[in-house]
Structure 1
Amino acid sequence: MREAGPRVLLKRLREMMAEALEPQERLDRIVREIAQNMVAEVCSLYILRADSVLELYATEGLNPKAVHLAQLRLGQGLVGTIAASARPLNLTDAQKHPAFTYLPETGEEVYHSFLGVPVLRAGRTLGVLVVQNRTMRHYREDEVEALETVAMVVAEMIATGDLARLNRPGIELDLRRSVSLKGIVFNEGIGLGHVILHEPRIVVTNLFNEDSERELERLEEALSSLRLSIDDMLSRRDVAFEGEHRAVLEAYRMFANDRGWVRRLEEAVRNGLTAEAAVEKVQSDMRARMLHMTDPYLRERMSDFDDLANRLLRQLMGRGPDAIAEIMPKDAILVARSMGAAELLDYPRERLRGLVLEEGAPTSHIVIVARAIGVPTVGQVKGVVSLAENGDAIIVDGEDGQVHLRPQADIEAAYAEKVRFRARRQQLYRELRHEPAVTKDGVPIELLMNAGLAVDLPQLAQSGAAGIGLFRTELQFMVALTFPRVEAQERLYREVLDAADGKPVTFRTIDIGGDKVLPYFKSAQHEENPALGWRAIRLTLDRPALLRTQIRALLKAAGGRELKVMLPMVTLVDEIRQARAIIDREVRHLSRFAYLLPTSLKLGAMIEVPALLWQLDELMQAVDFVSVGSNDLFQFVTATDRGNTIVADRFDPLCVPFLRLLRQIVQAGQAGHTPVTLCGELAGRPISAMALLGVGFRSISMAAASIGPVKAMLRELPLQELTELMDRLLANHAAKHDIRAELTQFAARHDIPL
């Protein structure tokens, strides 16, 4: 390439982009200009269509009749290989490469040297740009860099939609095609709306620089500012920023000081790009390469790098952290790789219609909060962040785990009808909220709701719940940057009891550890299996100050009212005795200072650890009530990690062994005259709630949104007949019965809505 070639070429491209040209004429002139500037005999542009075919859209040097006729599948030939790998190919003799595919219509057999680069935008391949020469030569590194820079400009042209007018019937470009992705349902519901990226890609519109030296100064100023901000984050007492932990910030600092990264940025600026465009180009190149890496550690580092590059772009473009609120649509579907629990609450709930995550697990913090505020959520949707753009139409199906990005009109219409149907059902459930929760044969059932944040409280009245069967106190800790002080805890607990207005509330003591990691509280050692490790009551008995502070806040908040406290993950009855001693000590302390105490104090335990199943008689004497944590109990009984997608659905909770176990707990409670409740996902689905009632439960606690469907089911349920059926199914000889199928048939015979 001639001296100052890239700068001259970018200047010519800028002039062409400003001219009023037809799309095909613009492309033809671009490839001609590139060929002339790079002293190449051929320059060709292939664009990736929605059907994964690379079509020749423009060429200088090859047979012009091959335009729109020459085609290669993704992965086919040299061009297809570049598109699939997102990596350039620089070949002295292209025809000797094993991937070479001869296209006779192009007349390219006389050309030997070959340089092809992917046309990338935000890490997505939109096409391939190629130059060729007859002589055998290896293109220099600066020529590769220049062609990549030009490819970035071409990518912006494709993305602006100017080429859409070239589409022929039935053929569309890859950028705007409809995509359906499969994930895992984290929270039920259906959301129709438009994409808002949690870490939005900043679209760089000013690509070409007028003064390279000034742009280099701007880049250095932004980098210095970025490094200072990272150092400041690391020096903060809580060592966290937007929920991200120290290890991530250390990775940011490493990247921000990486000379290789900075050198590539500076080189792109010297080639004629603005500082912003240089960051976008280097970020896109690196993302495309690392997306093909299989090492999970390196892929995770790519996420760190992405965040860092976005922060640098915001520094350069003067975007504050509140800029996202300005572009948030009224029907927002939030799309993110992952998020902290507190971050979701920063978005206005009234605008939020759904949440899509590339990562996450059903028990992750963000999912717990999403359930609490009733946002349909689908997780583990691989690739959705790179495929989505702000403002794209999107549908989140929290019933079967589908995410439809830029859906076709017929799919959108079908889902709109589905949403209307769900709305009609919700109206039916709202009408039921003041009706008693009584079975068809007159047996009263206590339907309680789960909660954990102040935003949950209005749902107590709206759902018609009889009370709060599980208040997860740890959520307050998870959305905070430091341990909530006793005053803050007391304020929340009093607010909960005030909202309950005399209805029962069961507070579970702080259940952290395991998957619930607080950024400001870390275990002293790495745990290979945190679900079975230092968590819940084990942690609070080892750190009694934590439990004492919480109990003191609960006692003060409940002054003059009943207080129900439940201990999580109890393994031995002796742990209950230890906890009771801490509670008694706090009662004595407050009495000494004449505080108003609760009128009654009831202590319960969660049955989650199988070891308690062999201590049931002793347990029922040691507590005032028990609550079955069906999620963890099922996980531990079946040795199934709920966060492991390979085995998470391997066993059905409505299987004979697990239902026998649940019936055994109910019978132990009856024998010990101890109330038994079940909290967990089993309680929130009509068919599994029906099974629970059939094995003897008369109190179940669930998400507020589930109370309507469960109440509609039980009001049509002949419980005595169901109990007799369950007894037969759980008898020894019935071990091979499909309980779910039997219950579905029972419901159909009795017109029970499921």
Structure 2
Amino acid sequence: MRDMAAGPRVLLKRLRELMAEALEPQARLDRIVHDIAQNMVAEVCSLYVLRADSVLELYATEGLNPGSVHLAQLKLGEGLVGTIAASARALNLSDAQHHPAFAYLPETGEEIYSSFLGVPVLRAGRTLGVLVVQNRTQRQYRDDEVEALETAAMVIAEMIAAGELARLTRPGLELDLRRSVSFTGIAFNDGIGLGHVVLHEPRIVVTNLFNEDSDEEMRRLEQALGSLRLSIDDMLSRRDVAFEGEHRAVLEAYRMFANDQGWVRRLDEAVRNGLTAEAAVEKVQSDMRARMMHMTDPYLRERMSDFDDLANRLLRMLLGRSPDDVAAALPKDAIIVARSMGAAELLDYPREKLRGLVLEDGTVTSHVVIVARAIGIPVVGQVKGAVSMSENGDAIIVDGDEGTIQLRPQPEFESAYAEKVRFRARRQELYRELRKKPSESKDGVHVDLMMNAGLVVDLPQLAESGAAGIGLFRTELQFMVAAAFPRAEAQEALYRDVLDIARDKPVTFRTIDIGGDKVLPYFKNAAAEENPALGWRAIRLTLDRPGLLRTQIRALLKAAGGRELRVMLPMVTVLSEIAQAREIIDKEVRHLSRFAHLLPTSLKLGAMVEVPSLLWQLDELMKAVDFVSVGSNDLFQFIMATDRGNTQLADRFDPLSTPFLRALKSVADAGARNHTPVTLCGELAGKPISAMALIGLGYRSISMSAASIGPVKAMLAELPVGELETFFEENLAGQAAGLPMRALLQAFADDRGIPL
């Protein structure tokens, strides 16, 4: 009986020899199609390559008219070849000319051939071309022949990706792999970033395609699969993986995929046909990804990322790679492209090399976005398809003003954006000139413009921005970037550094706000929550785990010895929570006094208004604390019953809508009535138009990212606050009719030349 694997193995051996020879690209392609035809006993073998204009051009042929090379063309979706490219699926036909998609190209002379086998040339799931064999007699090509042609197509894909065929492209045309692509997402942080792509979870490029010993490669593959399965079982057995919930469901799916016999069988076949273990993983995954990209079932399409992650894990095991390798070789103008990522992962990259961040998921209040804003890099989110269309090292432009991405941009785009960057630099220079000027409105109303922070890397911006102080120091960020709970000494050192750098400027420390979407991998929460944003988090958690709060309070008290300390409690729901926290603080003060520690000269306790229940306790609240801060992100989320992490609802409701502005005004009015200082710290304060609204509502202290202070201060200098207060008296109290409040505020600013 004929050894079905012998043909593919012989073909791969021949292709390996051809790739090693010093040949010109066209000569190499001509030899490749000749050898494929000879190996498969085919009268025709042709290669079509996809261009950036969605046209498939004949690049090489054995058997068709050689004069048609680089002249014969089919549009994407046209003919059998165009259908294969559009669907990323092979076609195996015994009578090709009677297929409904058949298109006759007279210049090729292919009308005499009946049998047709065509496979897509795939790389990372993207179609780069189509490889075809044909015969005169009617026949159905065997499975091993399909496998052989797919493997040959993989070799050609690497040639295309390496740029080897670019020299064969006619002037004015380019291949699809290098074409410019524009994406429109959602602007998460202002700014323009020009640089080069760094994939956060990069596809591993396999360079060693051909095996010398199939048995040895099978052993390597089986060993890596065994390690992969053990690692997944280990993750599932850990106590920090809940018995129910999304994370366990994902891991269970991983275990199912890792043990899927169909997947393993395809890997085995690819190795036995002559590929290395890692090349087999790359080939099978690329085939699977191409098929899943064209599925209409959204659930199955979502599983694509699970398969990608699993294949990447297996490749890393085979190649002994570390996920940190990419970060070590970061270009000086890195723009990170990721499906999603955590705040700590972004901080793993050298800050001085980061120029921007692109996310396929995420929302404006995601913690990675908050950290990116603190670092001062532009961010665009909801950019679907960015990861699969990008390659490490691709030129890219991130427009955080408009929410757009230019991948592999044309020269004219680069020139235009370079000028835009220069314009922004000139504008930033104007903001720097405002730094030392008083923070006053056109009619003399003073407003404190404070800065949000959470890490030591934020602190130099306090002086650079001209902020009046730190209105919100997020102490939980220290916990989120650590591998274990920071010790009391580490907390104290951080808080002392913050106060030292701030000097005489006020700093408001928010006690640890974890839980909900702020997950600490080392913190074991036994009960999975259906609604974590409404669950055991912030002050609720620290009152139940008083050791956490006591350690932090003691560190704050010791760090602030001899100066003022401002402490703020997050997510207060009822006033009794403030009383409980105050009791813990008083105990720590007495403890330190007993041991003669230097205590703060004054201690001010505040609460955050983020839970709507406090809107009906405002006067009592103002009497119970020394100051109040409004957390606009969570307050808006809870008032509008809108999960801020839900991408489908990211832009559904406007924080400048009348209902929310009325709620904010009630807090400002209660503060004025009770002579209790009120600050708003949240994303709302960082945009000139919404900051203008807050000032009109009566807020005289707002806290934002350092980069926002300049634009807000420029707006304030031209703002007649008295007129704006009259505007709100006329438009906020009555029925919300006609134009939305945002449009009315924009018109107010336009009429008075206020820069927004």
Task: Determine if contact 1:363/1:515 at 8 Å carries over to the other structure.
Answer: no
Give how far 1:83 is off: 1.9
Residue equivalent to 1:117: 119
Give how far 1:667 is off: 1.1
Following the alignment from structure 1 to structure 2, what is the Cα–Cα distance between the partners of residues 302 and 687?
A: 41
Task: Determine if contact 2:188/2:380 at 8 Å carries over to the other structure.
Answer: yes
Superposed CA offset, 1:582-638 (max 9, x none): 333333333344433322222211112222212211111121111111222223223
Following the alignment from structure 1 to structure 2, what is the Cα–Cα distance between the partners of residues 488 and 168?
A: 62
Matched, 1:492 2:486: no
Q: Which amino acid counterpart does residue 135 of structure 1 have in structure 2?
A: T
Task: Determine if contact 1:656/1:735 at 8 Å carries over to the other structure.
Answer: no
Task: Determine if contact 2:201/2:323 at 8 Å carries over to the other structure.
Answer: no
Query: Bigger CA drift: 417-426 or 601-610?
Result: 601-610
Matches within 5 A, 1:424-443: 424-443=426-445
Matched, 1:140 2:109: no
Identity of aligned residues (%): 81
Aligned partner of residue 181 in structure 1, secondary structure: strand
Following the alignment from structure 2 to structure 1, what is the Cα–Cα distance between the partners of residues 2 and 415?
A: 56
> Compared with structure 1, are the counterparts of its residues 215 and 731 closer, same or farther at alpha carbon in structure 2 (3 Å cutoff)?
closer
Query: Bigger CA drift: 127-136 or 211-220?
Result: 211-220
Matched, 1:275 2:298: no
Matches within 5 A, 1:220-235: 220=222, 222-223=224-225
Give how far 1:734 is off: 6.8
Matched residue pairs, number? 751
Root-mean-square deviation (Å): 2.9
Following the alignment from structure 2 to structure 1, what is the Cα–Cα distance between the partners of residues 738 and 600?
A: 50
Q: Which amino acid counterpart does residue 394 of structure 2 have in structure 1?
A: D
Structure 1: any 5+ residue segments left out of the alignment?
none
Residue equivalent to 1:608: 610
Q: Which amino acid counterpart does residue 353 of structure 2 have in structure 1?
A: R
Aligned partner of residue 146 in structure 1, secondary structure: helix
> Compared with structure 1, are the counterparts of its residues 596 and 292 closer, same or farther at alpha carbon in structure 2 (3 Å cutoff)?
farther
Matched, 1:453 2:455: yes
Following the alignment from structure 2 to structure 1, what is the Cα–Cα distance between the partners of residues 30 and 725?
A: 77
Structure 2: any 5+ residue segments left out of the alignment?
none
Q: Which amino acid counterpart does residue 208 of structure 1 have in structure 2?
A: F
Aligned partner of residue 488 in structure 1, secondary structure: helix
Q: Which amino acid counterpart does residue 42 of structure 1 have in structure 2?
A: V
Matched, 1:644 2:646: yes
> Compared with structure 1, are the counterparts of its residues 475 and 52 closer, same or farther at alpha carbon in structure 2 (3 Å cutoff)?
same
Residue equivalent to 1:419: 421
Matches within 5 A, 1:699-714: 699-714=701-716
> Compared with structure 1, are the counterparts of its residues 622 and 720 closer, same or farther at alpha carbon in structure 2 (3 Å cutoff)?
same
Give how far 1:64 is off: 4.2
Residue equivalent to 1:667: 669
Q: Which amino acid counterpart does residue 466 of structure 2 have in structure 1?
A: G
Give how far 1:644 is off: 3.4
TM-score by length of 2: 0.92
Task: Determine if contact 2:271/2:277 at 8 Å carries over to the other structure.
Answer: yes
2:352 maps to which of 350, 353, 362: 350
2:660 maps to which of 654, 658, 670: 658
1:335 maps to which of 337, 341, 353: 337
Residue equivalent to 1:725: 727
Matches within 5 A, 1:217-616: 217-220=219-222, 222-223=224-225, 260-293=262-295, 298-299=300-301, 301-521=303-523, 523-616=525-618
Following the alignment from structure 1 to structure 2, what is the Cα–Cα distance between the partners of residues 734 and 309?
A: 54
Following the alignment from structure 2 to structure 1, what is the Cα–Cα distance between the partners of residues 344 and 410?
A: 34
Following the alignment from structure 2 to structure 1, what is the Cα–Cα distance between the partners of residues 12 and 736?
A: 76
Task: Determine if contact 2:380/2:400 at 8 Å carries over to the other structure.
Answer: yes
Matches within 5 A, 1:618-633: 618-633=620-635
Task: Determine if contact 1:467/1:500 at 8 Å carries over to the other structure.
Answer: yes
Query: Bigger CA drift: 557-566 or 411-420?
Result: 557-566
Query: Bigger CA drift: 738-747 or 665-674?
Result: 738-747
Query: Bigger CA drift: 396-405 or 251-260?
Result: 251-260
Task: Determine if contact 1:432/1:712 at 8 Å carries over to the other structure.
Answer: yes
Task: Determine if contact 1:119/1:129 at 8 Å carries over to the other structure.
Answer: yes
Query: Bigger CA drift: 712-721 or 132-141?
Result: 132-141
Q: Which amino acid counterpart does residue 477 of structure 1 have in structure 2?
A: F
Query: Bigger CA drift: 330-339 or 545-554?
Result: 545-554
Task: Determine if contact 2:363/2:650 at 8 Å carries over to the other structure.
Answer: no
TM-score by length of 1: 0.92
Q: Which amino acid counterpart does residue 403 of structure 1 have in structure 2?
A: I
Following the alignment from structure 1 to structure 2, what is the Cα–Cα distance between the partners of residues 742 and 529?
A: 36
Task: Determine if contact 2:470/2:703 at 8 Å carries over to the other structure.
Answer: yes
Matched, 1:72 2:74: yes
Q: Which amino acid counterpart does residue 151 of structure 1 have in structure 2?
A: A
Superposed CA offset, 1:95-130 (max 9, x none): 554544455554545444332211111221101112
Query: Bigger CA drift: 141-150 or 65-74?
Result: 65-74
> Compared with structure 1, are the counterparts of its residues 594 and 98 closer, same or farther at alpha carbon in structure 2 (3 Å cutoff)?
farther
Give how far 1:2 is off: 7.3
Residue equivalent to 1:197: 199
Query: Bigger CA drift: 576-585 or 441-450?
Result: 576-585
> Compared with structure 1, are the counterparts of its residues 733 and 385 closer, same or farther at alpha carbon in structure 2 (3 Å cutoff)?
closer
Give how far 1:259 is off: 5.0
Query: Bigger CA drift: 661-670 or 481-490?
Result: 481-490
